[in-house]
Amino acid sequence: MSRIATVAALSFSCLSGVLLCACGSNGGGDPPPDAALLPDVAALADASTGGPPDAGGGDGTDSFAQSLLLTVGDMDGTLESLQEPRDHDFFRFEGTAGQWVLIDVRANEIDDPMDVDTVVTLYDGMERQLAENDDAVPRVNTDSELIVLLPATGTYYIEVQEYSEWDGDPASLPEGQPDFIYSLSVLELNPAAPGIIADPEMGNDAASAAALELEMGAGLVLGDYAIATDIDVYAFTVDAVSGFQGTIMPAGVEGYGGAATGRIWLTDDAGATTIASLVPHEASLRQTVYPNLAAGSYLLWTERPAGAPLGANSYYSLKAGIGTDNPLELENAAAPGANDTLATAESPALNPAGAGRGAFVLARLSSATDVDYFRLPVAAGESMLSVACSSARTGSGVQGLEVSVRNAADGAIGTGTESATMNLFIDGVAVAAGANSYVKLRKTGQDAAITGDWVRCGIFLQ
């Protein structure tokens, strides 16, 4: 992931109220969901502690032939460094067919743009690429991970390199230095452990739903599309108004290695009402349904895409989480029209964020004519306003989401529209210090098959 952080990433909505940073390797302007809700997969893994990590240093591990042997289950793993530009480190481990493993790289947990930025690649014993990851999904920093169902018993190889070497940008100079230190572990995921559920293949309908295990509100699904028409169903309960995230890991050899997902959707507990639904537009990108839910019982569904061939990589992994959501907009049944005009615009809380201030907006466009206004007082020293929003891209039924930055006379000074492949992003509209600026949300329609009408936005002033 590039070290050049975009304003879009700094200003995206998340549940925890922490502004997350992300950049363009996943399609540009497509910031992540709130990773704070989703599991630290390493904490769910079966692992032993083998004492202090090995201090390798990178020399002598620069090819498949020189690969360093790792022990599956050693949480401490090995300590290495990408000590010079174009350094590549290779490792190997022995795996078993049907074994779920987590390949976990820890290097830059505070997301320091001057520190190492890893990319990890998995190969089979014939040195053929099986999976690859730049930043773990959902992204919280530049560290890498893979969750893989091993297709055969035998030797597997892992390559770790610096993003600046991997990205292939001729304008980007490869980086590396002795203090670009990382740890690498290969851990076994135990489907019987709390917080993990392995797809039990009980059927394709609501009556056969398996319980989604959510330890402390977060869990991991290890699934398999066993037949060409397979649908997997998982049940869960929400105790209070909450945000829910269900994120399918990227598929294919440029993702987590598994099968593409045809659709991911969320319904009531009878399966009769669809609240959120999306069809991945590109298998290598992660896909997340991210609705705001009332207390109640729900079903999460995934399906194998039509026509996809069956094979050893028919697996998928899904991270799920439930947590406190951002406050919903003021307009509701008791206060209709509360923020429908410039004069009644809602003022979201602005908090320090990076070099400026940020606000999160969770809105509902409850009818074809509903519009929502939000007021942003521009402080001294601030001159630019940026907005990043997502709605249909996270499963909402909102169609044609349009957002505009507006002046005090209600004139548009910047606009953006959500598309099937890109979140909405309005970058750096000039605004005047000491005056109010406004953000207006509207839609062109609503998918008749989806009841969800939420819009999530992050707003950034600097």
Residues of 11-34 as b/e, b for ≥16 C-beta within 10 angstroms? bbbbbeeebbbbbebbeebbbbbb
Q: Among positive and negative, which fits the CA dihedral 258, 253, 81, 5?
A: negative
SS (H, E, C) 188-239: EECCCCCCEEECCCCCCCHHHCEECCCECCEEEEEEECCCCCCEEEEEEEEC
By the 8 A CB rule, do 248 and 205 touch? no
Average pLDDT over residues 213-230: 91
If one counts every other C-beta atom within 10 angstroms of the C-beta of residue 167, the result is: 17
Q: Which domain holds residue 451?
A: 1-31+327-462
Q: Which residue has the tokens 């005047």?
A: 432
Residue 277 in this model has a pLDDT that exceeds 90: yes
The verdict on 319 and 332 lying in the same domain is no
Residue predicted with more confidence, 44 or 350:
350
Task: Judge if 126 and 62 occupy the same domain.
Answer: yes
Adjacent-strand bridge partners of 287: 248
* Burial tier of 239 (Cβ tally within 10 Å: 0-12, 13-18, 19+): exposed
- The CATH number covering residue 16 comes to 2.60.120.380
How many Cβ atoms are within 10 Å of 109's Cβ, its own excluded?
11
pLDDT digits (tens, 9 = 90+) for 417-448: 998 888 899 999 999 999 999 999 999 999 99
Domain-ending residue, one of 289, 323, 357: 323
Q: Are residues 261 and 395 in the same domain?
A: no
User: Does 460 fall in a domain?
Assistant: yes
Q: DSSP secondary-structure letter at 166?
A: H
Q: What does the pLDDT look like over 378-414, one tens digit per residue?
A: 999 999 999 999 999 999 999 999 999 999 999 999 9
Strand partners for 436: 377
Tell whether 137 and 216 lie within a shared domain.
no
Q: Are residues 456 and 382 in the same domain?
A: yes
What pLDDT, on the 0 to 100 scale, is given for residue 285?
Answer: 65
Instruction: Answer whether residue 39 is part of any domain.
Output: no
For residue 192, what are the contacts with CB-CB under 8 A and spacing of at least 6? none
Looking at the structure, do residues 253 and 377 belong to the same domain, yes or no?
no
Regarding whether 55 and 166 lie in a shared domain, the answer is: yes
264 and 348 inside one domain: no
**Per-residue confidence band for 59, with pLDDT thresholds at 50, 70 and 90:** low
What are the DSSP E strand ranges found in 272-343? 274-278, 287-289, 292-293, 296-303, 315-323
At residue 36, the pLDDT reads: 53
For residue 429, being part of any structural domain is answered with yes
Total domains present in the chain: 3
Alpha carbon separation from 380 to 387, 432, 448, 462 (Å, rounded): 19, 9, 45, 10
User: Is residue 40 a part of any domain in this protein?
Assistant: no
In a domain, residue 36? The reply is: no
pLDDT score recorded for residue 17: 27
- List Cβ neighbours of 453 (8 Å cut-off, separation of 6 or more): 364, 365, 366, 396, 397, 398, 446
pLDDT tens readout for residues 29-40:
333 345 555 677
Give, in degrees to the nearest 5, the angle at Cα 209 between 205 and 210: 155
Residues 253, 167 share a domain: no
What pLDDT sits at residue 46? Answer: 61
373 and 445 together in one domain: yes
Cβ(6)–Cβ(384) under 8 Å?
Answer: no
What's the confidence (pLDDT) of residue 41?
A: 79
For 88, which DSSP code? E
Give me the mean pLDDT over the 125-153 stretch.
95
- What are the distances in angstroms from CA 120 to CA 152, 160, 167, 441? 20, 5, 12, 40
Q: What pTM was estimated for this model as a whole? A: 0.86
Residues facing residue 45 across a β-bridge: 189
49 and 185 belong to one structural domain: yes
